[in-house]
Chains A and B, each alone.
Chain A
Amino acid sequence: MSKKIVAVTACIAGIAHTYMAAQNLKKYAKKEGYDIKVETQGAMGMENRLAQDEIDAADVVIFAVDTVVAEPDRFEGKPVLKVGTSEVVKDGKAAIDQAIALVN
């Protein structure tokens, strides 16, 4: 069974890095054959909000954020990889690999 990942991305201005990081995570997760859902917390507020059962079903959580994650209690008890958005924009594969390494 393929691993399930949920991720939250958020940058400071919330217009570019947030969405580029989300795209990169999706791209590389798909390449490696993992399921991924990404919530963006950008200038428009929360978009593609993760449902609690999606979070519960996930094997690992990625926070690609420069700010703090809104409503963090939803992720309590989950293994979390925390990185900055620019790292993910530069190298999406490394973030996915690190997250999977957390739970393997």
Chain B
Amino acid sequence: MEWKKFGKELANHFQTGVSYMIPLVTAAGLLTSIAVIFGGQNVWNQTSNIWGNLRLLGQTGLGFIPVIIAAYISFSIADRPGLAPAFIVGLVASSMGTGFLGGMLVGLLVGYLVKWLKKMPMPMNLMSVKSLIIIPFIATIVVGLILIYVVGSPIKAMTVGLTAWLKGMSGTNAVLMAALLGGMMAVDMGGPINKIAYAFGMAAFTSGGYQASTAMLMAIGIPPLGMFLATLLGGKRLYSDAEIESGRSAIVMGIVGITEGTIPFAVADPIRVIPSIIVGTSAGCAVNAFFGTVQKTALSTVMAIPFSSNWLLYTLAILIGVVVEALLVNFLKRFTKAAPAKEA
């Protein structure tokens, strides 16, 4: 029971870190993508033109991922005093090449150490010394040295191994991973499981594992797009007026990449909608992995079409996912339920 509670607490801290990281990833990912798409491969290592400079902005941002993860996990655990030490040690972790994993570990270590130091009893007249000097100094030196001398190298090795595994993935494994990521992205429509898959895809993206990031990003738009098609095909026979209205906003959400557009449908009829979006999204991502199409931007489903390595096959994969989802959900609604939801 205690362990379960601790696990839930830990998940909350990770999610807080990820929530602060998301805008950083979108900004930096987009800048890097734009630079490479328009400036070609020679944008790296130069700042003589605008594309080189956009690359500089984006690359600096991506390098900051372990830092922001460390700092805000620690902030989540220990509040304000957790920030500064985790920023310092997180930046060291980043420059050691420990990646996302290193950032998470630093955040946890600094966070819990600071939290424990905060509770340590102290004479009243020394309290200001404790918050001003002792906590930042101790937390930085302890976790910093642990990182540098103990855990840094093994984590770096793990990151390198994971990256190589992701990049080298092909055939059945790649299809399975895409299907799994797709399903995870769909299952709670923007909730915690979705964000685990998101974080994984983004971690892969930053180290060049574009197969994983392509699958994850493709999955974002499929659930709402599929429900839009389903309302279009099912019409008033299967959907209430409110749901048809939601379908119209779902297509917009699908195009700009907000999985949450599916939620109204899932709330009204979870038993039929959620399995359908999981199956549809998985199918789309798996088909795309089978085609071997990748896109090297941080853009979602529809917006990434022009940047994909084969836009025809990429679009086909999206359509397959959308159609499978729409047909499945309408089939389930048609044959396991008589009428649309009661408001109709």
Contacts and interface: CB of A to CB of B under 8 A. Distances in A.
- By size class, the interface of chain B is 20 to 34
A66 B258 contact: no
Given A67-B12, A68-B13, A15 B191 contact: no
Q: What secondary structure prevails in chain A residues at the interface with B?
A: loop
B258 A15 contact: yes
B192 interface: yes
A65 to B, nearest CB: 8
B190 A66 contact: no
B191 A66 contact: yes
A69 to B, nearest CB: 10
Contacts, number: 55
A43 interface: yes
Contacts of B16: 67-68
B267 interface: yes
A11 B191 contact: yes
A66 B22 CA distance: 15
A33 B241 CA distance: 28
Contacts of A66: 12, 15, 191-192
Interface string A67-104: 11000100000000000111001100000000000000
B23 A68 contact: no
Nearest to A65: B12
Given A14-B19, A67-B12, A68-B16, A20 B263 contact: yes
- By size class, the interface of chain A is 20 to 34
Interface string B186-225: 0010111001000000000000000000000000000000
Contact of B19 (A13, A72, A84, A86): A13
A2 B22 CA distance: 40
B267 A90 contact: yes
A46 interface: no
B76 A67 contact: yes
Contact of A89 (B13, B19, B267): B267
A67 B19 CA distance: 8
A32 B15 CA distance: 32
A12 interface: yes
A30 B15 CA distance: 31
Give the residue among B15, B19, B192 with the most A Cβ atoms within 10 A.
B19
Nearest to B77: A68
Interface in B1-33: 12-13, 15-16, 18-19, 22-23
A17 interface: yes
A57 interface: no
Interface string A23-61: 000000000000000000001000000000000000000
13 contacts: A10-B19, A11-B19, A12-B191, A14-B19, A15-B258, A20-B263, A65-B12, A66-B191, A67-B16, A67-B76, A68-B16, A85-B191, A89-B267
Given A12-B18, A12-B190, A67-B16, 10 more contacts: A11-B19, A13-B195, A14-B19, A65-B12, A66-B12, A72-B79, A84-B192, A85-B191, A86-B191, A90-B270
